[in-house]
Amino acid sequence: MHDKKEHFMEDYKDKKIAVLLSGGVDSSVVVYELARQGLHPDCFYIKIGPEEQEEWDCSSEEDLEMATAVAARYGCKLQVVDCHKEYWEQVTKYTMDKVRNGFTPNPDVMCNRLIKFGAFNEKSGQDYDLIATGHYARTEIEDGRKWLVTSPDPVKDQTDFLAQIYDWQLRKAFFPIGHYMKDEVREIARREHLVNAKRRDSQGICFLGKINYNDYIRRYLGENPGDVLEFETGKKIGMHRGLWFHTIGQRHGLGFGGGPWYAVKKDMERNVLYVSKGYDPQMAYKKDFPIHDFHFLTCDPWGEATSVHVTFKIRHTPEYHPAQLERTGNGEFTVHSECPIHGVAPGQFCVIYDENHHRCIGSGEIAWG
């Protein structure tokens, strides 16, 4: 730990640092970590409220109170940056465009690219050398190139949420608590008597807190009822309220008797949801699937190779799956997983890591296949 501390000081003592302070425990410990090293960052609270305050349940007022208290305790300036318009115009537009076309989006991934390291940088972050956040992720530099590296805490690791940021955003990104386990961060908060030490981690969509995802979708796209058919027999099981409320591999919330049922296919043209019965239907699994629009975080490390050994994940889980990644075109690959993967859904991001799941290479969107 001592070596890490000295290296930390050497790297960052002359840098101008902005901290994105959310009011949660992680970003608050970031401020503590910097302050104890003698650094005095400027803190910023990104304001993104519900579109219409009276209709949505939101804890942003409490978040801002917590952020204000933490900044004041460590003698840091706190400024509120309003990214409300950008969030609803960019992140919500991306989300609705995807679900309208039958895809499974990830608003949290795009929020990092478009808002935390995007709109914030345009408004305030451009005046700083580094933007520090409470993400559980690390970085390393080799031959002058900065790489995104996984956290030692596999449960909390958030590199998958950062796998779409641009290379210039990664160069400015700084993750001061990325080397800690979550329990260690909680312990620091308790030991230092931080005002939010016992506060629960936020759940739900980035910045929208307690808003229900289906309510969020319904608000923009409404409902579009259609048939639910058993995949194997074509027998009608019931009705759905809109294909956009369902994702491939879904089991909970289907609401049909005689199950369990899994959502296994969407027919967008006919507005039909296909389901399969059983606790583990084979239709819910895939070993081979295409990804496109691949985004390299730092650079393409594979040169001319057409097939490489990698690990990957398609959702925020602790497991990394081994696979062969086959290059099929410009920004296009096919993932050949060693094991069948549950719930592979077009629109999800497939995040690619090296064989030892140490470096995050980048991510691509799962395509129809």
Place of tokens 């991510």: 363
| Helix, strand, coil percent values for the chain (each to nearest 5) | 30, 30, 40
Catalytic residue flag (residue 360)? no
Q: What angle do CA 208, 214, 215 make, to 5 degrees?
A: 65
What is the DSSP track for 285-319? EEEEEEEEEEEESS--TTTT-SEEEEEEESSS-S-
Measured CA to CA, the distance from residue 253 to residue 71 in angstroms comes to: 42
User: The tokens of 366 are what?
Assistant: 């799962």
Cβ contacts of 184 within 8 Å, gap of 6 or more: none
Active-site choice (43, 76, 83, 111) = 111
d(CA 38, CA 21): 18
Residue 31 CA to residue 14 CA, distance in Å, equals: 17
Active-site annotation holder among 43, 76, 206, 350 = 206
Instruction: Annotate 159-192 with b (16+ C-beta within 10 A) or e (fewer).
Output: bbbbbbbeeebbebbbbbbbbbbbeebbebbeee
Task: Mark whether 339 is an active-site residue.
Answer: no
60-73 and 25-36 helices cross at what angle (nearest 10)? 10
Q: Count CB atoms within 10 A of the CB of residue 226.
A: 17
Closest CA to 245 of 276, 209, 270, 273: 273
Identify which of 336, 36, 319 has the alpha carbon closest to the alpha carbon of residue 177: 36
CA geometry: angle 230, 350, 282, nearest 5 deg: 30
Q: At what angle do helices 92-100 and 213-221 cross, to 10 degrees?
A: 80
Residues 6+ apart with CB under 8 A from 216: 95, 205, 208
Q: From the centroid of its chain, how far is CA 293?
A: 17
* Residues recognised as catalytic: 111, 206
